Amino acid sequence: MKTLWKSGLVGLGIAMISGLGAVSVPTDAKAWEPKKPVQFIIMAGKGGGADKAVRFMQNIIAKHKLSAKPFTPINKPGGTGAEALIHLKNASDPNHTIMFTLNSFYTTPLRQPGLGVDISTFAPIGRMAEDTFLLWVNNDSGITNVEQFVKAAKAKGDAWIMAGTGKNSEDNLLTDFLNKAYGLNMKYVPYKGGGRVAKELAGNNANSTVNNPSEQLGFYQAGKTRPIAAFTPARLPLFSDAPTFRELGKDFVYFMQRTVVGAPGMSKEAATYYRQLFAEIYGSDEWQGYMTKKSLQGGFITGDILMRYWLKEKAVHKVMLQKMGAIK
C-alpha cells in the first residue's frame, strides 16, 4: 500500500514535471527577464503610503529572490506625479522602468495636457490594492465627530488648515468635496508626501487631513490623531468607530488605486514577466498581511481589465475636476 502510494506520488511528480516542461518550453524560448536593475518609480514622496508599499514590495522581491536583478525604488514626487509620468514617458529603457501609481495617474495628465501624457499608452501590469481615505483631526482639538468638525471649521473660516499631498491631488479633491458638502472654506496647503502630511496634523501644524490609514496608523495608535469619518462604502474594520460619509447622509465614496504600471513602449514579453511577478507578490503572505494591517482593499487586476478600469476612473475624475473648476 505504502509503495503503491509512493509510486503514485512519484508518477504524479513526473507528470507534473513533464507538464511543467510542456508549458515552459515555448515560454522558455522567449522568456524575458530583467537584464539590469529595474527602476521602480514612486509617484509620491518618502514616507507616504505609496513609498511604504513600494519599499515593502521591493523587500518581498529580494527576500523570496523573485528576480535575479534588484528593484530600485526612486521617488519622483514633483508636480503631483508629473515628474514621475514624464520620467516614464521618456524612459530610455521602458523594459526596465515601472512605476507605482495613484490616482494622480488620471488627474495630473487631465490637468496638464501640456505634459503630453496619454495613460492608455502605459503598460497595465497589476493593481495591487485600492487604498481608502478617512477624515482625520488631532486629538488635542477635542473633536470626535463630523458635526463638531463642521462647527469648528466654520468658525475658523479660511484659517482652518487642511494639509494635503499636492495641488489637485486626491487630497485636494476630497477637501473640495468637504468644502462644498458642508459649506466650509478650509484652506488647502500642499506638502511633499502623505507621511509629511500626517506629521503636520500630529504636530498641530494643520487642523485636519484626509490621510490613508497607513499614513496615520502610528499616530493613531499613539493617541495623537483620530479618524472621524471614512470615504468608504462600509466602515473599516480597523477604525470601526468612524462612520462612513454615506451613513452621515453624504453619498461620497472614494478609493485610490495602488497599481504597478510599465513605461509606454514596454515589450509584450517584459509586460508578461512583470504581470506574473506582481501576481505572485499579490498572492504572498506578506502582501496579504500588509493589506490587512494597512486597511487596503481590492483584488488583483491586470491586462485589459486594468486598462478598462483606468479609462473608467479617468472619466470619473474628469467629471470631478470639472466640478471643481480645475479643468474645463
Partner 1 sequence: MEILSLLLNGFAIAFEPLNLALIIFGCAVGLFIGAMPGLGSVNGVAILLPMTFLVPPTSAIIFLGAIYYGAMYGGAISSIMLGIPGASTAVATTFDGRPMALQGKADKALVAAAAASFVGGSIGVVLFTLFAPPLADIALGFGAPEIFALMLMAFATFVGLGGDDVAKTLFSIFIGLVFGAVGLDIISGEPRLIFGDIPGFFHGINFLVLAIGIYGIGEMLWTIEISKGNVVVSQASVSVKGILKNLVELTRTWKAMLLGSFLGYFVGILPAAGATPGSLMAYGFAKQMAKDPETYGKGNINGVVAPESANNAASTGAMLPMLTLGIPGSPTTAILLGGMVIWGLEPGPMVFIDHPDFVWGFIASLYAANLFSLLINIAFIPAFIWVLKLPFTILAPVIFILCIVGGFVPTLSMHDVWLMLIFGIVGYLMRKLDYPMAPAVLAIVLGPLAEPALRQSLLISGGSFSIFFTRPFSSVFMFIAIALLVLPLGKQALDARRRKTERT
Residues in touch with partner 1 (CB under 8 A): 46-47, 51-52, 55-56, 58-60, 62-63, 70, 72-73, 75-80, 82-83, 86-87, 90, 108, 111-112, 158-159, 161, 166-168, 187, 189-192, 195-196, 198-200, 202-205, 217-219, 221-222, 224, 286, 293
Element holding 175 (H helix, E strand): helix 170-182
3 state SS of 188: strand
**Cα separation of 274 and 270, whole Å?**
6
* 196 vs 317, beta carbon nearer partner 1: 196
The residue among 77 and 126 lying less far from partner 1, judged by its C-beta, is: 77
The least distance separating partner 1 from the CB of residue 138, rounded to whole angstroms, comes to 11
C-beta of 76 vs 302, nearer to partner 1: 76
Report d(CA 214, CA 180) in Å as an integer: 27
Residue 162 CB, shortest distance to partner 1, in Å, is 11
Partner residues linked to 130 by β-bridges: 257, 297
60: number of Cβ within 10 Å: 17
CB of 39 to partner 1, least distance (A): 8
Residue 3 is placed in which grid cell? Answer: 509503495
Question: In the chain, what's the furthest Cα-to-Cα distance?
Answer: 82
Least gap, CB of 161 to partner 1 (angstroms): 6
Can you tell me which residue has the cell 475658523? 156
Are 227 and 135 spatial neighbours (Cβ–Cβ below 8 Å)?
yes
Which residue lies nearer to partner 1 by CB, 62 or 305? 62
Strand order, beta sheet including 123-131:
71-75, 38-42, 97-101, 256-262, 123-131
Find where cell 495623537 sits.
224
- If the CB atoms of residues 214 and 302 are measured against partner 1, the closer one turns out to be 214
Taking the complex as a whole, how short is the minimal distance between the CB of residue 287 and partner 1, in angstroms? 11
Nearer to partner 1, 87 or 127 (CB): 87
Phi, psi of 213 (to 5 degrees): -55, -45
Of the pair 55, 246, the CB lying nearest partner 1 is at: 55
Q: At closest approach, how far in Å is the CB of 13 from partner 1?
A: 29
324: Cα separation from own chain's centroid: 23
Q: Which is nearer to partner 1, 58 or 302 (CB)?
A: 58
- For the CB of residue 168, give the shortest distance to partner 1 in the complex, in Å: 7
Whether 154 contacts 201, CB under 8 Å: no
Give min distance, CB of 208 to partner 1, in A.
Answer: 13
Rounded Cα distance between 255 and 134, Å, is 10
